[in-house]
Copies of this chain bind each other. A is one copy, B any other.
Amino acid sequence: MQIDNWGDKILNGDRRALARAITLVESNRADHRVQAMELLDYLRRAKRQAIRIGLSGTPGVGKSTFIEAFGMMLTGQGLRVAVLAVDPSSARTGGSILGDKTRMERLSRDKNAFIRPSPSQTHLGGVARRSREAVTLCEAAGFDVILIETVGVGQSETVVAEMSDLFVLLLAPAGGDELQGVKRGIMEMADLILVNKADGDLKPTATRTCADYGGALRLLRKRPQDPEGFPKAMMVSAYEGTGLADSWTQMQALVEWRRDNGHWDRRRAQQALYWFDQEVRQALLARLESPQARAAMAALSDRVAAGEITPAGAAAEMLETHLGG
């Protein structure tokens, strides 16, 4: 397909064209990569922006139920919602946290919703680039809200935060004052903490958990991108549907404040620079993956292992002779 043609279809909200484009950016083939870059460049000119919400929560907090309920509420308001996943662990297991659309049965049938599982890749860097570009494609396709889901595994939260406008941490009610082992670094990324399952017997525990996290958030260093009262902790029940509208109101208020105060644009620009830097580094290191480079590394490795050359000497030879000085 012609890039212009394809791009126009995406801009017109054609779901098949969008799905194919996401498959394109997920591909490792060099010719696909060239096409993907042309397509992304074409779409860039439309300058469309969605509200990108990063959502982290470990298994068991009710993430699928939350996304389904929250997504249905948004589409009920006439908004178009895309759901993407960043799951570095899927590379290992072969599965995917969003592989099974039955997890969000109603939302996946909603014509104003678009659900896409995590690309399976061998490393987080690969997942990250593909996910970020999928977000860009969904923005071009005119989605109003993009939910970027991740499980709390290793660096995946950082990666998701770097492609989101807001970062939401979904937690389950829990006793004890250990704050459920949420790492300080994750807490510091959160704009909103939602304590899910605030219903039935768990309501008192949820109330206490919410108060605990609210207190913990107030102890963190004030960030310039936060208006009065943020970051904050709230209770929701995805199951009963309570608190969802309120949490969306809070998100919108935060977005509006950040837009008015220049933080929105500044963050978008910073994120673009972050990804530019990451792409350059990954592309440089990818030079080690060519068949020629692998063969040269293997030959030098034999000499290093045999003690015939120092690691530093072998590295210098590799760089000079096989990686263009």
Q: Is the CB of A40 within 8 A of B313?
A: yes
Q: Is the CB of A288 within 8 A of B281?
A: yes
A310 on the B face (CB < 8 A): yes
Interface size counted on chain A using CB atoms at 8 A:
45
Name the distance in Å between A314's Cβ and chain B's nearest Cβ: 5
Name the distance in Å between A150's Cβ and chain B's nearest Cβ: 20
- Grouping DSSP codes into helix (H, G, I), strand (E, B) and loop, the A interface class, with mixed when no group exceeds half, is helix
A47/B276 contact (C-beta < 8 A), A312-B40, A319-B283 known: no
A219 on the B face (CB < 8 A): no
Q: Is the CB of B319 within 8 A of A280?
A: yes
A280/B318 contact (C-beta < 8 A), A305-B269, A305-B273 known: yes
Q: How many copies does the complex hold?
A: 2
Name the distance in Å between A205's Cβ and chain B's nearest Cβ: 24
A273 contact set on B, CB distance < 8 A: 301, 304-305, 311
CA–CA, A324 and B287, complex, Å: 11
A202 on the B face (CB < 8 A): no
Q: Is the CB of A44 within 8 A of B310?
A: yes
Listed in ascending order, the chain A residues whose CB lies under 8 Å from chain B are: 36-37, 40-41, 44, 47, 129, 133, 136, 269-270, 272-273, 275-281, 283-285, 287-288, 297, 300-301, 304-307, 309-316, 318-319, 323-325
